[in-house]
């Protein structure tokens, strides 16, 4: 066999069977659809079509119709087809819906909840659930065998078992219900016991409507009555937990935070107001939770008022950045140098409650930070009390509009207090330095705090809530708030012991410890007064020296006003040192030589005596040094000796030095 010749495939197929004859109705329908009726079917037309098909010249009718059809007719035909399809789809949807309603209504007798979910609203209105039922009939068929009937005894046993099973199920259900009821009673008892304990501790129970539920719940109001508009009507709602205990929830969903005051020096925290004791957070009692929620809301209102007020204190160094208020707090520094004072700042911010547990709470100035935080809270309480007093006053007659209470001032009193502390520390530093220098010279001095209080500590209110004069008592907290917001006075007494030889000058003041001593105690009082309510006014310094100071002063240094008042701390300290120098020169140093002249450096009249017979002693108490200048000699030729005492020098008794100088002069 040739290689190029390939075997042809052999197909073994059965002969086609004769198709069934087409029904007459189908033939008639097809003739109507294809020819348009029997009137158009003629023998000539059929022969012509057969001839055209054989010659290949026939054209499809659809193509002829499409070619002859215009665009408008095509769009009309398309829309008609679309409408027809939508009609068929809507009809099918209605039929399916009716079938679903019928099946759901049939099933509603056995399974009402499942059937109700699939029923249409129209059927629910017209036909109640379970109105249609069905039964299953077992029709007898010749090929199906009939079930074998059970004996009556077996039927009775099955029925008895079914009844026993039903009774056991009912008993179990009753026991479970009793157990649930017992647990519910225990939870309710625990819930109402805690509610009663809260009420017995003085909290007013309110009915509060929560946002998530239409049902009202019990709760207590944690906002102040005279708080700001943004912080009123805040309640701690009593939600019952799974174990029956009360879980208080605030009607405003926000994370509870507390006010934190930190002291920073060169970027390092040296004090914080946050307590390192975790016992306050570990207390799980209901009252503790309510107190924490109330304190957190109070601190949020306090920080809001601080942020509103900080913009008015920008010229004084107050800033607000990233939710933190920064304030210069140089008076809190224990170091009186200017570099240390400028590096200390107060940082005020809100932190979460769980931040109270710190790893390192050992700070040097923690008490000062807590004092600042307590001061801010007291100032906000004072603002609430002021609003309450204005709200309860009887309005004036024919008042046109309601008086709006001013916003509370919280940060401004703190800044004023810090300036007052700065002034106090400056005076205290100057007095301490002077006392140390004089002690090196053998001069006994005593520095005592005579007064450190406010001038507004009246136990009664001179004007009651109705505006009439009366003696209405003031609460202790409000008295403290008024004292902190009033005039602050701090008075230091510098006691100097001088040496007196004259009998008539040996009178001892009330501050002397020994009435039989030959020394006299001289008192120099410095009062630092600051009005906290008047932020624009500066601190006033009042100096009270002994009344006989003018007798020792030169004409230009004498003052007709007593006590002396200063607006500048430096001038007050300078005048105090002048008075101390005169007192040492004229009261402490004994006049051993009748020709000796003793005067302070500031008394210029004593300089005219230099060069005459005898010795002239000049006493000068400067910032950090005590100078005693001895000038002696004949006219135009004199000798001068200067002895100095500083805080770090060795102790040399001034009287011994004077005795040595007189001994040198006599020799």
SS3 per-residue string spanning 382-435: HHHHHHHHHHHCCCCCCCCCCCCCCCCCCHHHHHHHHHHHHHHHHHHHHHHHHH
Asked if 473 and 483 count as a contact pair (C-beta separation under 8 A), the reply is no
CA–CA distance, 498 with 657 (Å, rounded to integer):
16
**Is the bond preceding residue 563 a cis peptide, omega within 30 degrees?**
yes
Q: Residues 56-62: what's their mean pLDDT?
A: 55
**pLDDT above 70 (res 199):** yes
Residue 243's CB is within 10 A of a number of other CB atoms, namely 11
Place of tokens 């801010």: 376
Q: Residues 614-629: what's their mean pLDDT?
A: 74
**pLDDT above 50 (res 99):** yes
Structure tokens at 370: 């807590």
| DSSP3 helix / strand / coil % (the chain, rounded to 5) | 45, 20, 35
CA angle 483, 486, 487 (to 5 degrees): 110
Structure tokens at 160: 């008895």
**pLDDT above 60 (res 101):** yes
**pLDDT above 90 (res 174):** yes
- The predicted pLDDT at position 387 comes to 85
- The predicted pLDDT at position 172 comes to 94
Asked if 198 and 220 count as a contact pair (C-beta separation under 8 A), the reply is yes
DSSP character at residue 599: E
DSSP three-state, residue 492: strand
pLDDT, greater one: 546 or 477: 546
CA–CA distance, 381 with 465 (Å, rounded to integer):
17
Residue 265 pLDDT class (50, 70, 90 cuts): confident
- The predicted pLDDT at position 552 comes to 57
State which H helix or E strand residue 566 sits in.
strand 564-566
- Tell me the pLDDT of the chain averaged across its residues: 75
**Tens of pLDDT, residues 330-369:** 555 444 343 334 557 889 999 887 775 444 445 667 788 8
- The predicted pLDDT at position 1 comes to 47
- HEC string of 344-376? EEEEEEEEEHHHHCCCCCCCCCHHHHHHHHHHH
Structure tokens at 304: 């809001």
pLDDT, greater one: 395 or 492: 492
Let me know how many helices (H) and strands (E) the chain has, helices first.
Answer: 16, 20
CA–CA distance, 151 with 141 (Å, rounded to integer):
25
**Tens of pLDDT, residues 123-158:** 888 888 888 877 777 666 666 666 677 788 888 898
Which distant-in-sequence residues (6+ apart) come within 8 Å of 381 by Cβ?
Answer: 477, 478, 481
Residue 657 pLDDT class (50, 70, 90 cuts): confident
- The predicted pLDDT at position 205 comes to 87
Asked if 263 and 270 count as a contact pair (C-beta separation under 8 A), the reply is yes
Helices (H), ranges, 235-331: 279-282, 286-309
**pLDDT above 90 (res 272):** no
**Which of 175-189, 445-459, 582-596, 646-660 is the most confident on average?**
175-189
**Which of 300-304, 454-458, 618-622 is the most confident on average?**
300-304
**Tens of pLDDT, residues 596-608:** 566 666 454 545 5
DSSP three-state, residue 104: helix
Residue 515 pLDDT class (50, 70, 90 cuts): very low
- The predicted pLDDT at position 333 comes to 45
pTM of the model: 0.63
Q: Which long-range contacts (CB under 8 A, 24 or more apart) does 635-639 make?
A: 635/611, 636/611, 638/610, 638/611
- The predicted pLDDT at position 163 comes to 93
**What share of the chain in percent tops pLDDT 70?**
70
Parallel/antiparallel/unpaired status of strands 597-600 and 615-621:
parallel
Asked if 433 and 427 count as a contact pair (C-beta separation under 8 A), the reply is no
Residue 639 pLDDT class (50, 70, 90 cuts): low
């Amino acid at each position: 066999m040739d290689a190029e010749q390939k075997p042809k495939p052999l197909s073994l197929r059965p002969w086609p069977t004769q198709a069934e004859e087409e029904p007459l109705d189908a033939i008639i329908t097809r003739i109507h659809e294809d020819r348009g009726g029997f009137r158009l079917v003629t023998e000539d037309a059929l022969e012509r079509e057969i001839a055209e098909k054989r010659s290949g010249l026939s054209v499809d009718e659809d193509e002829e119709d499409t070619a002859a059809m215009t665009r408008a007719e095509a769009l009309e035909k398309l829309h008609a087809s679309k409408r027809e399809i939508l009609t068929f789809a809507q009809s099918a949807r209605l039929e399916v819906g009716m079938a679903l309603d019928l099946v759901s209504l049939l099933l509603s007798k056995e399974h009402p909840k499942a059937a109700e979910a699939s029923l249409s609203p129209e059927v629910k209105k017209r036909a109640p659930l379970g109105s249609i039922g069905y039964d299953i009939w077992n029709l007898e068929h010749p090929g199906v065998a009939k079930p074998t009937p059970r004996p009556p005894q077996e039927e009775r046993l099955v029925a008895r078992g079914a009844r026993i099973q039903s009774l056991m199920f009912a008993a179990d259900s009753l026991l479970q219900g009793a157990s649930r009821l017992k647990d519910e009673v225990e939870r309710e008892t625990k819930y109402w016991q805690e509610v009663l304990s809260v009420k017995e501790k003085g909290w007013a129970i309110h009915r509060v409507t929560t946002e998530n539920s239409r049902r009202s719940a019990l709760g207590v109001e944690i906002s102040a009555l005279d708080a700001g508009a943004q912080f009123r009507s805040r309640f701690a709602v009593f939600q019952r937990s799974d174990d029956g205990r009360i879980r208080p929830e605030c009607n405003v969903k926000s994370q509870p935070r507390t006010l934190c005051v930190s002291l920073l020096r060169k970027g390092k925290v040296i004090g914080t107001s946050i307590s390192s004791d975790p016992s306050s957070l570990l207390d799980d009692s209901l009252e503790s939770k309510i107190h924490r929620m109330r304190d957190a809301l109070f601190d949020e209102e306090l920080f809001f008022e601080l942020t509103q007020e900080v913009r008015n204190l920008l010229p004084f160094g107050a800033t607000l950045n990233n939710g933190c208020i920064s304030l210069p707090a140089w008076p809190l520094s224990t170091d009186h140098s200017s570099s240390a004072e400028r590096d200390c700042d107060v940082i005020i911010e809100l932190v979460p409650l769980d931040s109270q547990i710190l790893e390192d709470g050992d700070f040097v100035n923690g008490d000062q930070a807590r004092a600042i935080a307590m001061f801010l809270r007291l100032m906000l309480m004072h603002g609430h009390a002021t609003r309450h007093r204005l709200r309860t006053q009887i309005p004036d007659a024919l008042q046109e509009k309601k008086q709006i209470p001013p916003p509370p001032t919280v940060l401004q009193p703190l800044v004023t207090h810090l300036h007052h502390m700065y002034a106090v520390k400056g005076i205290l530093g100057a007095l301490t330095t002077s006392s140390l220098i004089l002690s090196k010279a053998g001069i006994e001095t005593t520095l005592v705090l005579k007064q450190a209080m406010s001038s507004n500590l009246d136990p009664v209110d001179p004007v009651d809530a109705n505006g009439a004069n009366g003696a209405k008592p003031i609460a202790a907290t409000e008295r403290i708030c008024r004292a902190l917001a009033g005039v602050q006075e701090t008075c230091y007494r510098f006691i100097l012991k001088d040496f007196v030889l004259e009998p008539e000058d040996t009178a001892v003041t009330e501050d002397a410890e020994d009435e039989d001593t030959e020394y006299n105690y001289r008192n120099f009082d410095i009062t630092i007064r600051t009005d906290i309510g008047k932020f624009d006014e500066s601190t006033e310094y009042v100096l009270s020296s002994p009344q006989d100071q003018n007798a020792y002063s030169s004409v230009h240094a004498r003052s007709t006003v007593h006590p002396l008042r200063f607006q500048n701390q430096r001038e007050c300290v300078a005048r105090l040192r002048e008075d101390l120098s005169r007192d040492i020169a004229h009261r402490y140093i004994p006049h051993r030589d009748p020709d000796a002249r003793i005067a302070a450096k500031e008394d210029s009249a004593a300089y005219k005596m230099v060069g005459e017979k005898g010795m002239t002693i000049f006493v000068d108490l400067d910032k950090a040094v005590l100078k005693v200048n001895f000038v002696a000699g004949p006219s135009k030729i004199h000798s001068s000796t200067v002895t100095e005492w500083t805080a770090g020098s060795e102790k040399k008794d001034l009287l011994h030095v004077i005795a040595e100088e007189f001994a040198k002069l006599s020799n």
